[in-house]
Structure 1
Amino acid sequence: MATLTGCGMAPASAVTAPSPATPSWEAEITLTNAPTVPPATTIPIPSPVPTPTSPPPTVTPTSDLLSLDERLQIFDEVWRIVDEKYLYADFGGVDWEGLYPEYRARVMQAQSRDEFYAVMINLVAQLNDNHSRFVPPAAVEAEDATASGREIRVGIGVIVQPKPDGGFVQQVFPESPAARADIRPRDRIIAVNGRPYTASDGDLQGAVGTSVRLTIARPGAKLRDVLLTRQEVRSSILPYYRRFPGDIGYVSVPTLWVHDMGEQVSGALTDLVAGGPLRGLILDLRSNRGGWGDVLSAVLSHFVRGQVGVFFGRDYVRPLVINPPAGPDLRNLSAGLVVLVDEDTASYAEVMAAVLQSEAQAIVVGTHSAGNTETIYAHALRDGSRLWLAQEGFRLRDGSNLEGRGVVPDVLLDVDWTRYSEDDDPQLLEALRLLGGGPK
């Protein structure tokens, strides 16, 4: 299941056992008295990570077990990287050194490749920071495909966010079975083949040619059933944008995790400006759980300049400096800028909202964001697996740290916007009112 979730993380970097993480940005960053590191980003988690108290899953032994030497090398490398680079020197109260003999024994006893990876997942999950994680090789491939924003998957062509009472449709891909059935963003899938939708249904992927019957709820409309046949779908994750009366632009950015999202947002803003000067803009970051550091910088570049904060590790700091954009300069909108956030706005999306609030005098509307802003770095391991590790925090120029606190809205409007149509969305209507956009 690919979702638009994420953490603050740095771009993936190739790392061998003895080597430090190296950046994969176009522009290299050199730190004073610190190793060279990549900028932060957030990444989706394609499969659930066990909680620290969860036992490794039961796995039927197979013959593809890595050799003992290979397993111990991977284990020692992961343990060492965490020991040396983890953001918190006290490991958040976890006895990291004490975990070494326990998990080394588990690694030695593993009876299959899957069981070994389950042990490694569980080891890193002990950090319990909602960011750091171990990703087995197959899941690494899925992460990379999702980050491309152009992966081919077999399914109905949606991205769904599980909710307690159904699956909230975030994106519908063009020319997909869902699009042909008139399923739209903001719809909710409440039943699958007659039973209630659950998180395990994910994005309703499956084998080519198989059918699935969905019950769809749409704000202000009656329930309806649709029968879809799964097919190969190109999953293009795109921003949504439109122009409102009063020369107010609106751009919804679903994720920062797609590598070219910065270019896409720049294109959206260019199209909006081409339709005539904008007086104001609404930037919708609701349910955006973060993404790549270069995407963060690219979007911010339309609204701010210069140093806007610092990332900090155990023994260094590095500035977040925003350079001029390739697209429109929107620093002087006469009506201003409004940013929409909710409790699912996380990581670099939170950093973006906070920087715009403090540096561009943007008005933030919605609910408190997630307060989960650590930067994670990718460490490639010898077997093709990956360690994502929280190595940096972030502070605004005034010293404010969003971790555990989140972005505090200027206008607190605590409603579940996912239950409203775009025309009736209270937070969007408030943003339009603040910008003098009037009724839609």
Structure 2
Amino acid sequence: MKNRYLRIVLSLILSVILGLGWWVPSAKADTENQKLIAEVWRIVNQSYVDETFNHQNWWLVRQNAMKQRIKSREEAYSVIVKMLASLDDPFTRHLQPSQYRNLQVSTSGELTGVGIQIALDEETGALQVITPIAGSPAEKAGIKPGDRILKINGVFSTQFTLDEAAAQMRGPMGSQVVLTVARAKEEAQEVTIVRDRIALNPVIAELRSSPGSVPVGYIRLNQFNGNAVTEVANAISNLEKQGADAYILDLRNNPGGLLQAGIEIARLWLDQGTIVYTVNRQGIIGSFEATNVALTKDPLVVLVNRGTASASEILAGALQDNQRAQIVGEKSFGKGLIQSLFDLSDGSGLAVTVAKYETPNHHDINKLGITPDRIVSWEPTAFNQIATEVDQQYKTAFELLTTSSVVANAS
């Protein structure tokens, strides 16, 4: 009887040991996933621009997330996405490792896909085109700023996050993606686009002239990527050597990019003055100033439209408020929030809205945009018609540069 009791006890101990043998690895994985969730929570807690965290108890959000049993990294990502969604900020988002690498590639200067800058409409939740990249397959296929993408390869775009939608449109050269696109009052239509390598040389520059007018340097800046500052500086220097006496800086359909690039390009045009103010959640204001390195003092007109966003608005606002340039076109997009990227321990990334920016005259751009000095409607223009006589915004800018008021303003 005693031996039988001993066997039962040993059997129970063995069962517990075997159970622990199965349980320990799962617990370890659970712990690693919880560490990742806690890492994301901590970064947002320390850095996010809104100290109310969208008027919610952010500590309670952590507690609810951490008490869940997480069996896989995918489940951890889902918990993180849900946690960040409670902030109601589409720009604060988690980027899985492949998405994070793709974002780093796009800001460095090259990518493969269709070439569309997209955003989520905050009111409707619809996937909206900010702008197609100049010369991209999307632009050649007729995609326009303001278009709504209803489906991607037959799947409703509302089923994707912003980064997932972008990933769906990237792919190998020569492959196809079918977008269902709606525009204004027109019926939705399917557009088939062949993916291609997109060289992100962000600058197009050439000298323009007409009888009786000053030589005008035309610079079109498509994106604030890692090449932008050098390319704009080279463009100004080359146009100065060619005899340019005035400039048009075309920021239409430029969705922004690197904040520092916007600041450095403003310094290429400004000798002195504030470029932008930044406001964090404590309300502390920092500023970036011109540094007396302007490459030209020639008259300048800047072109903007509703596809002009983020760093483009910083640049346009700095030039407008410092009376360095006149702004022509339509009211810009209105993205006045600054995101920082954080590396996470598993190779993924986190984009967090850490501040907002204001123009030198303390104009809050977010959702309001930059209002031009001269409002001229943007008419749909084919790629090869941009900055020609049929482009009314460009034509207005060119005519302004022949008047004494612009020259006096620049001086």
TM over 0.5: yes
Matches within 5 A, 1:298-337: 298-308=264-274, 309-315=276-282, 316-325=284-293, 329-330=295-296, 332-333=297-298, 336-337=299-300
- Kindly state the Cα deviation for residue 426 of structure 1 after the two structures are TM-superposed: 1.8
Change (3 A) 1:162 1:92: closer
- Kindly state the Cα deviation for residue 104 of structure 1 after the two structures are TM-superposed: 2.9
SS at match of 1:237: coil
Whether 1:76 and 2:38 are equivalent positions in the alignment is yes
Change (3 A) 1:435 1:187: farther
Distance 2:128 2:382 in 1: 11
Structure having the higher Rg: 2
Of structures 1 and 2, the one with the larger relative CO (CA 8 A, separation 6+) is 1
- Kindly state the Cα deviation for residue 117 of structure 1 after the two structures are TM-superposed: 1.5
Distance 1:389 1:86 in 2: 6
Partner of 1:235: 199
Whether 1:90 and 2:90 are equivalent positions in the alignment is no
Relative to the length of structure 2, the TM-score reads: 0.70
Partner of 1:136: 96
Matches within 5 A, 1:176-195: 188=142
Distance 1:170 1:86 in 2: 30
Partner of 1:171: 134
Among candidates 359, 367, 374, match of residue 322 of structure 2: 359
Among candidates 221, 232, 256, match of residue 265 of structure 1: 232
- Kindly state the Cα deviation for residue 311 of structure 1 after the two structures are TM-superposed: 1.4
Distance 2:379 2:215 in 1: 27
Among candidates 426, 432, 435, match of residue 392 of structure 2: 426
Query: Contact (CA 8 Å) 1:312, 1:318: kept in 2 or not?
Result: yes
**Is the helix fraction higher in 1 or 2?**
2
Amino acid at match of 1:378: L
Relative to the length of structure 1, the TM-score reads: 0.66
- Kindly state the Cα deviation for residue 64 of structure 1 after the two structures are TM-superposed: 12
Q: Deviations over 1:146-189 (max 9, x none)?
A: 111035x3x6xx5245799999753337xxxx6xxxx9x66616
Among candidates 149, 152, 158, match of residue 200 of structure 1: 152
Partner of 2:115: 159
Query: Contact (CA 8 Å) 1:242, 1:272: kept in 2 or not?
Result: yes
Whether 1:286 and 2:242 are equivalent positions in the alignment is no
Change (3 A) 1:371 1:67: same
Partner of 1:223: none
Change (3 A) 1:74 1:161: closer
Distance 2:286 2:128 in 1: 43
- Kindly state the Cα deviation for residue 94 of structure 1 after the two structures are TM-superposed: 4.1
Amino acid at match of 2:33: R
Query: Contact (CA 8 Å) 1:307, 1:319: kept in 2 or not?
Result: no
Change (3 A) 1:205 1:101: closer
Name structure 1 gaps, 5 residues minimum: 1-62, 191-195, 215-226
Give the total of aligned pairs. Answer: 336
Q: Deviations over 1:131-158 (max 9, x none)?
A: 221111111111111111035x3x6xx5
Amino acid at match of 2:204: Y
Query: Contact (CA 8 Å) 2:33, 2:72: kept in 1 or not?
Result: no
Whether 1:342 and 2:328 are equivalent positions in the alignment is no
SS at match of 1:91: coil
Distance 2:329 2:288 in 1: 26
Change (3 A) 1:140 1:382: same
* Structural RMSD (CA): 3.7
Change (3 A) 1:348 1:204: closer
Amino acid at match of 1:137: P
Whether 1:379 and 2:342 are equivalent positions in the alignment is yes
